[in-house]
Amino acid sequence: MRDLFLLPNLLTLFRIFLIFPTLVLLEKEIYNLASIIILILFLTDFFDGKLARKLNQVTQIGSILDPIADKLVVMSFFTYFYLNHKVPLVYFLIVMIRDIAQLSVIPVLIFWKKILFKVKPKLIPKIGTTLNFIILFLIFLSLILIEILEKELYNFVMYFLFWISGAIEVYILVTFFPRYYEIYTGKHDTFE
């Protein structure tokens, strides 16, 4: 339990904590401050892993907490932006299905089945999460720069990103379920 209070894990917890105030600021249309907080939130995602490796503080709880934080960030903000008509329904559903499915491993494997597992994402899942963050960042940017933004170019870029990211999300889901089964049945111990 003391591993939870290591600096990299505290940064991850801070990322989770920042979700709610950012959503409140967005709802109140205080976009500049919300954007600063979301930038800090994204930077904590970058630095928690780097610090864990540099300080030799890579822990089991940190390797599970980091993707949980990522999923909570993605699910919270995509839900908000979907409800505010900034994200297409199909993309929103694909992201939610992926993240809910991946979050389901915590109660099922750890708490119910008492199976410890490792999380070592390969390149494609990392690209998927990065694309989610890029899309969220561009939506935040559009809120601030609405007057000077070239609408047609923005819409084209977002359409392209939604398609690419959606395809990656589907790929991740297709590869996730067989691995989930392997870990559940004791044939493997790592989500990649």
Residue indicated by tokens 């008509």: 85
Q: Would you give the distance in Å from CA 74 to the centre of its chain?
A: 4
Looking up tokens 């989770």 gives 16
pLDDT at 1: 66
Q: Is the dihedral of CA 120, 118, 3, 132 positive or negative?
A: positive
The angle, 0 to 180 degrees and rounded to 10, between the axes of the packed helices 123-144 and 60-83 is: 40
pLDDT-derived band of residue 173, with 50, 70 and 90 as boundaries?
Answer: very high
Mean pLDDT of 136-164: 88
Q: Domain boundaries in the chain?
A: 2-191
Evaluate if pTM is beyond 0.85: yes
Residue 145 DSSP one-character state: S
Q: Distance between CA atoms of 19 and 8, rounded to whole angstroms?
A: 18
66-88: pLDDT as tens digits: 889 999 999 999 999 999 999 99
Which one, of 75, 2, 8, lies nearest residue 45 by Cα? 8
For residue 174, pLDDT beyond 90: yes
Looking at residue 4, its pLDDT comes to 76
Q: What is the pLDDT of residues 15-35, one digit of tens each?
A: 999 999 999 999 999 988 998
CA angle 109, 114, 115 (to 5 degrees): 60
Q: Which amino acid is at 152?
A: E
CATH number given to 2-191: 1.20.120
Q: How many CB atoms lie within 10 A of CB 76?
A: 16
46 confidence band (pLDDT: 50, 70, 90): confident
Task: Output the CA angle 26-28-32, nearest 5 degrees.
Answer: 55
Task: Dig out the tokens for 140 from the structure.
Answer: 């935040």
How far is residue 145's CA from residue 149's CA, in Å, rounded to a whole number? 6
